[in-house]
Structure 1
Amino acid sequence: MDIIQNLNLINASELLLIAICCYVLTSGIKKTRIKNAYMPFISMAVGILIGVIVALAYHDVNIVKAGIAGFLVGGWTSGLFTGIKGAFGGYEVDNKTSNSKSSGPVEVSTPKYDTKINTRRN
């Protein structure tokens, strides 16, 4: 966030307000059925929208700078989800592929293909 302040886009209070609003709205959107692959883009769009709204609320004359700051904060908050979730153990580890009794290498078998359905074309 110091980078955004050093770019002299917005002041600290506007930056904090954009970050909180963007985090709350993006976490609410994340609870829907939208794929996680789209969340950084959605977070950046929400950041731009919130940045413009905050600039208008603070009677800032340069709305473009606030939109750019919102874009950067939106990208920052999308990465923040992954960091917080990983730090608090939110990711489940699936160990179904490995055998818990042996500590040796995992055996890999070739897939079985049905030649009537799956044909290789050269």
Structure 2
Amino acid sequence: MDKRSSEVEIERLKRFILDRDQLEVRTERLSSLVSGLDEKNLDLEARIFKALADVNRLKILKLLKEGELCACEITVALSNSQSTVSHHLSMLKNAGLIKERKEGKWSYFRLSEGAVIEILNQAKLLTEK
């Protein structure tokens, strides 16, 4: 936070925190937390979560957990049109979740990192009761 916005934020916090010492400590901590937010990384992380926020894209990732598949296999597995699957694959690729390999006219896809499997495993843990 710059000096001016810091003063404004302190005034806003005064309404919630009456103890002056507490206010100073909490303001410093908050300022440190805010300055640690990296907008570029947040945008990249948001792109990943947006890509994960679709049932068809999750299905694709789960299929690719078992290994590389060509786009035609994914199209058949999802029972969707080629253009719809292509759109989903593009979003996953742009988010860095999958990689593409071309072989002649065929496109093959695989998970980009083991971390993608870990994300899926963590999501499964969160959904278990």
Structure 1 or 2: larger strand share? 2
TM-score by length of 1: 0.27
TM-score by length of 2: 0.26
